[in-house]
Structure 1
């Protein structure tokens, strides 16, 4: 009996062993290079190719059977396996751009060509061909997308206008997590984003997207997706270095290094970490043009010819008084490069743990953390030095086939040295010689009361009053500046202290496996803020500010007319503490012309809304002597007050001015949410040209109508007296005459009608058989009658015409490729609370050539940006953008 049992076990084991035959194969790209991380699916299970393109799996069923080999951005190949010793070599070919699958437009996978709204996208292949230093810089080459370059590490992406560097109308997400800085509500760009090595895809929806993504998805939304360690394992690195050239800064080297490590321990557990760091001289801002003051415009003259000179990038000269018999006189300011060293650097780390309890992608639990620390300058209401900032995010997420549930925390710490450069200059002047004394000495010298000083001469009087001025570079100057930086701005220094954070939760469920007649989704989100700037930015000196917001949405998609037409309808409701609830509907229709799925017409009506940002609600920021920027939520008006000193004869020595006083005297109403209605038409097609080539065409047009548009409004508020319906009483007139008033910039809504419209066209094809060619054009137009609200500044901030061209060949000859990008835009008006002015037309040329070394699994890239060498400015007051020349070495890309 025992022998029979042994024989039976042996026979069964032999059958099992025989039945589990091992099959091997290799995956290549179209240039016959090994293709790592390709996904191989069959009835026998799932596996991925390794860094050499090899894959292995065990056959548990009989022959023949088929395998599917796929990768993001490539066409899926189906191979029939007939025997265990079959030679399996799979070549993956790139998808056409319009065949790529996206998820952002409907929160459900669909081809770009079938997307119900305008969408732009880049994938792994596009990133490899990128001519810019990083993939994020390369987004500027997409149709209708603008980049506000501030320095090497910080850029702000936007579409369809109405934005400055602090773009609060455009949302950016990394794996579903918003990257906005908690207190200021604008995206940190790629400071908190992805490494080039970890990017799987980037999708951008230009225009209103609130129906699915809620508040602030007003101008658009950018979604960055990272590589999952289950599908993309291994170690990869890059090294970048080169030179940045600018007339003001000279030639400076930069260094940028990144490492990605990912490992699939089993079908159940995987993990990854990313580390990047860079060091680069920032673009110097040295505009010495005269201005009309804070938030004003440029005017004629310089320090030698204008006693009231206020230079664009000079700080401290904002302190100005009217002197009887002399005129307006300002103090002598410090140049920006005397207050800031332009030492830009950043260290960024992220890591994630991934667990699949079922051993497949039907259910996955993810925990991830992301950290960023460094230095950079930033231009908002003033110019700021962000030294030692620290950002962190922590996420826990459960992802299933038809749902996700996630929660995350985002926190910001400005560190000990973040400060306002304008107030640093003001405080330095006050420190060595208080304003009252300085102007008294100037008047005495100018009037001939000081021996040896030429009467009636501004320079001689100024030199006398400046005789004890702190000199940049000296120990006394450095010590005084350090003390001012350490002193909060609301206590007479320049320091900004902010430790704001927020908690966020959201979820989505798709009923596609439960409901067959249509695809229905529901979802919702909740966010809670804790604002704590210690009174340096907001009215939170005595206590932090807390508020929350929530939203819920639903979407239905239904195909009809033999699957040629598809209707998408969505609606979302959002509510925030200080504002009424808001509904955001969207409806879109696509139609397949001809039934080939290659010619799609789309039309949509969608809405967007934006709750005023935290600054627009809670600012209590002193932006200059006797000048404030004030948020106008009703709660903030009760929190704000300031004590002012009066100089008029018979006037009270001091006055206390509250937020309610300011709104009452200015006639401005509390800020409320803004809305946009957007109408879009579009057409996408894949057109066969000859027998081997295709032309991809994408046309789109939109018309936007805005209500309650939020922007700045400058008002003068008398320190005493009353103003009723815009008419000051006698006491208020006296206050204005004596100079006893506050200059206040308020966030409010305009009653004027504001519309904008535009269109874009993009095409791509191959020329000369193997060369890639692409071009796109964008037209943008503002419709606004300034006479309907003379003091309102819409801040459209976008050129009317943009033209972008791409030309290249990824395999000109064996292992060698190149790419060229050119961008042109016309002159346009820039409006902001820092400075208004014209931005000149510009043409920017970027190029790169690369060489692949298969034996080292490496790619060497040499390139440059702004190769014409003509420097340009993104916005008045920012640093001129010079040229960057770089070389990079990427291993296991």
Structure 2
């Protein structure tokens, strides 16, 4: 009888509770009426919600009777909050349309916390290049859009080459900004350099690019050191249709692209893309010095081209989960700038295969990367090799053939009196990388938890051309991380702590912590953050063997003739402290500003010559191995390698302002300041080991001041933008490369650096930087056809933006684009 009474009471309670609650259902679409699959619908007061299905539909059950605020968000769209009244025992209909985000404060981003977050909730400085920015930029090279972001050091090496740096210490071989694409590393395997134009994705398939300033190592691991650049491509369920694009410009630039995406049913969708682009670099040859005589780079080929293709298959096993399979390929021919001269890149291909699973609480990802080239070569070294044969009587044909691998050293007065030195200029690569990651996300009321683990195995193989890698080099690293957030919605306070244990095969375990406090106010959010980043030496840093021992990696340390020991490379660390604010200053004026202070230790230097042959102090051993046993014929009289420096403090601020005159016209103003404090009495900062600390030995390679103004207009069928950028003139030192004003570095009354003159093994054209104006405009004839125009360096300012690179001249490009959807679904009906 007691059991029966208990059962009846339980049933009665359930019935009563059911009568006290109802449900909310509806459809979420974009402005055109197309359903948005995966939009987040959330009732904060009840901690209830879900995501929309393939048709944009959602249902939230067991909603207490009363009036509630429903928040609807989707990446790239404005967050919408709507009030809904729920009646017990009934279903309330809520259909909503989301607008593409035009306001910087309405953005929803995913990179900072590896989950969707409104940009004002993120305790970091984040720049977003939106789908609209990309759509309205009529050039295949969207790297130029990075120039329009605050806190970013943007450089251009020619028609094709663009690069970015964040918060100091740039070089011609900069791997301190981690780049990822759809949750996979977009970096080369042996060098750690960003892939850049080697990427396998095309412009028309990119949904957005999120740029995070400062360390982000807790969630992303080593080398998310100064910043992180995340490229996110389109899901076919929100971008169905076919896009044809053709473009042309000066410097013989021609591009053709195709993208197709189709939804087959509520389970399957797919997309594929193809691109072919080509052109000719500016008429510039870098000087190659043999003694005091300059030569042009041998067999310089200024023509560049790239071919890319890829495909993805999307499968939804449930309404709230998705499995994606991706394969992409790229092949490139172009010129690349390095710390030891320029490379002629020949048929360098990248292949990527990926499988990824995403659901509300779980994320799993694994992918494999292949890198391959057999004919890429260093033009500087090859030219020196060629000259050595020509000057000693060899035929031009033989000199050209042998210049890929050998240099002639004349020992007597007669022809043939000499020896061959192995000074290989040829780069081959057959490297591979395997990555895997698993992550769990959940929240309980105001507490949010992220747990994850990552694994990476680098398998470098240069076929003995630029690494000590007989039999290949395998290095693995594993990271385990967690991040916890607690949000007090009533008071606006938020607290975040995170930590990562990263275990590297050579460097053991490193702890990477993170912490933040945020405070929401009516018009914005204040934040105070701390983060640590580490830069693990690349395989090239550790095992490099370039040009027959002229460049040797520092994985084991060195010994000099006088017994001096030079330690092996260690992990570089940075501790970053930042305070910032995002919010409204008025109804039309928005601000995103920060100030930061960084402490860097064991800074990994650019290439430094550690031998002092003039005083007979050569390199005798690499680790415990005599240098002559490791590199045939080497005397150690000239060895370039990488070193750790002691300690340097850097600091700066970024200010970004956006003013909306109306819905059609806005202006953006960005300003950045950067500087450093170097203790010249700390001999750990003696970069070239000459007994004194010089400012140039730990080069800032970053301007103190950057300023930009942008004007953006879009109304009806027309859009356009005008963007002016000022970069204060600054010195740049990287390996053999020098771009600096005339200066006496050591105070001895002699100018070691002279502008417009030979400095060491290169020509110094003077400081980098200057002022330039870019513009773009377009017209949409109808929903399918558009024509765009882009002009880089509108007034042809004669600026040199990077070392071993030409003056950047005006670039003009046109783009005609046609979009059609043969399989367009009927838009959902909106109440």
With structure 1 as the length reference, what TM-score do the two structures score? Answer: 0.74
| SS in structure 2 of the partner of residue 430 of structure 1 | helix
Deviations 1:108-139 (A, max 9, x none): 22111121111111211222344765332111
Q: Name 1:609's counterpart in structure 2.
A: 534
In 1: Cα distance, 2:561 partner to 2:282 partner? 39
Q: Name 2:578's counterpart in structure 1.
A: 680
In 2: Cα distance, 1:335 partner to 1:108 partner? 51
Q: Name 2:811's counterpart in structure 1.
A: 884
Q: Name 1:228's counterpart in structure 2.
A: 235
Deviation at 1:809, TM superposition (A): 1.1
Deviation at 1:153, TM superposition (A): 3.4
Q: Name 1:503's counterpart in structure 2.
A: 434
1:695 to 557, 580, 589: 589
In 1: Cα distance, 2:193 partner to 2:501 partner? 22
In 2: Cα distance, 1:804 partner to 1:600 partner? 24
Q: Is 2:554 the partner of 1:632?
A: yes
Q: Name 2:499's counterpart in structure 1.
A: 571
Alignment CA distance shift 1:67-1:678 (3 Å) = closer
In 2: Cα distance, 1:852 partner to 1:92 partner? 19
Deviation at 1:213, TM superposition (A): 1.1
1:354 to 304, 314, 319: 314
| SS in structure 2 of the partner of residue 181 of structure 1 | coil
Mapped contact 1:820–1:845 kept (Cα < 8 A): yes
Q: Name 2:211's counterpart in structure 1.
A: 204
Q: Name 1:801's counterpart in structure 2.
A: 705
Deviations 1:578-612 (A, max 9, x none): 2131101110010012xx3x321100111111111
Return the structure number with greater strand share: 2
Deviation at 1:271, TM superposition (A): 1.0
Structure 2 unaligned blocks of 5 or more? 1-25, 42-49, 59-68, 85-92, 408-419, 621-633, 689-696, 741-766, 821-831
In 2: Cα distance, 1:403 partner to 1:279 partner? 41
Deviations 1:459-512 (A, max 9, x none): xxxxxxxxx874xxxxx4xx7535544889984442111111111111111132
1:148 to 155, 175, 178: 155
In 2: Cα distance, 1:44 partner to 1:388 partner? 44
In 1: Cα distance, 2:438 partner to 2:638 partner? 45
1:803-822 equivalences in 2 (<5 Å) = 803-811=707-715, 814-822=716-724
Q: Which range is displaced more, 833-842 or 801-810?
A: 833-842
Deviation at 1:866, TM superposition (A): 0.5
Mapped contact 2:595–2:652 kept (Cα < 8 A): yes
Q: Name 1:830's counterpart in structure 2.
A: 732
Q: Is 2:484 the partner of 1:556?
A: yes
2:328 to 363, 366, 370: 370
Alignment CA distance shift 1:741-1:410 (3 Å) = closer
Mapped contact 1:710–1:748 kept (Cα < 8 A): yes
| SS in structure 1 of the partner of residue 301 of structure 2 | coil
Q: Name 2:611's counterpart in structure 1.
A: 716
Alignment CA distance shift 1:99-1:828 (3 Å) = same
In 2: Cα distance, 1:539 partner to 1:40 partner? 48
Deviations 1:591-641 (A, max 9, x none): 012xx3x32110011111111111211112228xxx62222112xx6xxxx
Let me know the Cα RMSD of the aligned residues. Answer: 3.5
Return the structure number with greater helix share: 1
Alignment CA distance shift 1:836-1:787 (3 Å) = farther
Aligned residues: 709
Alignment CA distance shift 1:559-1:119 (3 Å) = same
1:538 to 467, 484, 489: 467
Q: Name 2:275's counterpart in structure 1.
A: 276
Deviation at 1:39, TM superposition (A): 5.0
Q: Name 1:240's counterpart in structure 2.
A: 247
1:14-93 equivalences in 2 (<5 Å) = 28=31, 34=32, 38=36, 46-47=53-54, 72-75=75-78, 92=99
In 2: Cα distance, 1:395 partner to 1:352 partner? 9
In 2: Cα distance, 1:112 partner to 1:579 partner? 35
| SS in structure 2 of the partner of residue 197 of structure 1 | helix
Mapped contact 2:334–2:344 kept (Cα < 8 A): yes
In 2: Cα distance, 1:723 partner to 1:688 partner? 65
Q: Is 2:641 the partner of 1:746?
A: yes
Please identify the structure whose Cα radius of gyration is greater: 1
| SS in structure 1 of the partner of residue 105 of structure 2 | helix
In 1: Cα distance, 2:97 partner to 2:610 partner? 69
Mapped contact 2:554–2:642 kept (Cα < 8 A): yes
Alignment CA distance shift 1:560-1:845 (3 Å) = same
Q: Is 2:302 the partner of 1:342?
A: yes
Q: Name 2:565's counterpart in structure 1.
A: 667
Deviation at 1:26, TM superposition (A): 9.2
Deviations 1:324-381 (A, max 9, x none): xxxxxx5x55312x521111100011111111112x2x22111111111020111112
With structure 2 as the length reference, what TM-score do the two structures score? Answer: 0.79
Deviations 1:720-745 (A, max 9, x none): 987899xxxxxxxxxxxxx9751112
Mapped contact 1:39–1:70 kept (Cα < 8 A): no
Mapped contact 1:174–1:193 kept (Cα < 8 A): no
Alignment CA distance shift 1:664-1:556 (3 Å) = farther
Mapped contact 1:130–1:819 kept (Cα < 8 A): no
